[in-house]
Structure 1
């Protein structure tokens, strides 16, 4: 009986080692180098992102392009955070909303199903804690032990509304021990190239991109993915 059990266990082990899931895991471990870029996608889920463009909320449009962006980041560690998605956009919900930085997808290689599932049930609702979101990205970067560069993509349709100083945090990110840049995508943002969002990108050593439409977001993310994976 003992020999039969042992043989069964060995057979199960061999099957598990040959399973697609195990093979995918081994493939990821083998293909992601120690100097792979670490990409943090910070997605605005504040109340203003519920406004619609051609019948679809800005949040849904941005989320779709964030998914597409992740799928293009081969050999890259990807993280996604959502900010402002709790409480409400009234004073009664401000404290909760301003502290709501949701770590929906921790640093790892892109997995389509997990990445898509990470945003299930999240709706745009509250205030805009950009400084807290950037600080959260900094904390996540500080936990990494690889030596790849750090890149932030902050996608928002407005400026800080929680009293934080995102320009200061972007400056601190830029001064990190490893190469770090902060890029900002202003989606349907009325101030254009002026104001706080431009200052955040400048302080973080990155670029400010103006996106008026979903196609603009797609174009920006496509060209950035090409830079990161070349």
Structure 2
């Protein structure tokens, strides 16, 4: 992202305020580590002064405006200031924590900035790697703001380092401010973090005040869950917001309509890029959703839902009958729904497997948005089985010339009861005392809805 005609001071304050927005939401501690380029190229002239003078002066002014901000700790690291490339070989270990984290570090940072003399190389990757050790822990919002006029000079990979630190949840996605980089390919910075190209030194006080005012206010989001007519009428759905870079869950809300009948406004931290999941059945997801700091962002997810109404035609003899719901032709489970209930699903085709004896499978059920799809199954009957002694056996369903296994008998009981769907069955039994297969006994029976059958061997 290139910002033309905006002062470097503006950028400092905007980015710092972006890092502070969460404070107004949850009062979480925020730590900001400034990583300042003090390589030899920072001695170069850039408009009214050297790049180093401009960077340090505007950084000091920006820090002054943060005095008195609660729940904020600052630190300063610099690189390229300890070894001169004019008198020695390139020193890729030339990176140093000048001011460690703590409250009220403003004067220490001011003094350290006065002492820095740019003279060395640009070890960005190694500075980011060492910066991970600068943060006391990962329990706060740990933010890095890198200020540089050049790219990595030590043949290392700052992108890989940045991503590793984010995945370990040591830091959030860094901010990089490029100064005087008109003739530099800034593409490599885009994978490190949020890159801002400051193309001039000009200041716009009124714009600065507007940016500060917006950034310090809660950044808000509205999630529109769209029905089949693409209207935002779907609601009461759980929403999960996670960090796209690390997968860490940051917020969870139940989608709500406000008193005006519109989707409710949610306060979010703009420093993150979000993956958002609407926990419909099945879930709907949007990835890598950026949030604009200080603005209201509307995010849309299509969620056309219809109802699946599961019913038993008569008296339900099952104690806890459930139905497995899958997408048509898919193995992944979408939901386990109780019978005699109604549940909402995203419109589409589904396969149903009712946990009756035997299983009742209903493929290719179409659920249509804004409509109810009723599914009814026959009422079961009951088999009461009385055995002369404990033994082995099973129940089979007769389907023409084939037999399908339904369930095994309980080998520890002589009186057993089975709730079965209407149909023709056989029961096989052999006493545990019988040591020959020829003593297997077999009975055929029929189950009808809301009736019972007794078999005594």
Q: Does residue 1:58 correspond to 2:51, yes or no?
A: yes
Q: Is this contact kept in 1: 2:73–2:104, CA < 8 A?
A: yes
Q: Is this contact kept in 1: 2:37–2:149, CA < 8 A?
A: yes
Aligned residue for 1:79? 75
- One of 108, 121, 128 as aligned partner of 2:122: 128
Aligned residue for 1:144? 137
Q: Is this contact kept in 1: 2:159–2:191, CA < 8 A?
A: yes
SS in 2 for 1:66: helix
- One of 187, 196, 216 as aligned partner of 1:195: 187
- One of 67, 81, 88 as aligned partner of 2:60: 67
Q: Does residue 1:113 correspond to 2:107, yes or no?
A: yes
TM-score (norm 2): 0.37
Please tell me the root mean square deviation across aligned C-alpha atoms, in Å: 3.1
Of the structure 1 ranges 189-198 and 174-183, higher mean CA displacement relative to structure 2 is found in 189-198
Aligned residue for 2:438? none
Q: Is this contact kept in 2: 1:43–1:83, CA < 8 A?
A: yes
How far apart are 1:77 and its partner, in Å?
A: 0.8
How far apart are 1:229 and its partner, in Å?
A: 8.4
How far apart are 1:89 and its partner, in Å?
A: 2.5
Task: Name the CA distance, whole Å, in 2 between partners of 1:111 and 1:160.
Answer: 29
How far apart are 1:139 and its partner, in Å?
A: 1.4
- Report which structure shows greater RCO (CA 8 Å, sep ≥6): 1
User: Between Structure 1 and Structure 2, which shows a larger proportion of helix residues?
Assistant: 1
Measured at CA, do residues 102 and 187 of structure 1 come closer, stay the same or move farther in structure 2, by a change above 3 Å? Answer: same
SS in 1 for 2:32: strand
How far apart are 1:136 and its partner, in Å?
A: 1.7
TM-score (norm 1): 0.71
SS in 1 for 2:181: coil
Unmatched 5+ residue regions in structure 2? 1-25, 219-457
Q: Is this contact kept in 1: 2:32–2:74, CA < 8 A?
A: yes
Unmatched 5+ residue regions in structure 1? 1-32, 202-206
- Structure whose alpha-carbon radius of gyration is higher: 2
How far apart are 1:102 and its partner, in Å?
A: 2.0
How many pairs align? 189
How far apart are 1:112 and its partner, in Å?
A: 3.3
Measured at CA, do residues 179 and 127 of structure 1 come closer, stay the same or move farther in structure 2, by a change above 3 Å? Answer: closer
SS in 2 for 1:118: helix
User: Between Structure 1 and Structure 2, which shows a larger proportion of strand residues?
Assistant: 2
Aligned residue for 2:89? 93
Q: Is this contact kept in 1: 2:144–2:171, CA < 8 A?
A: no
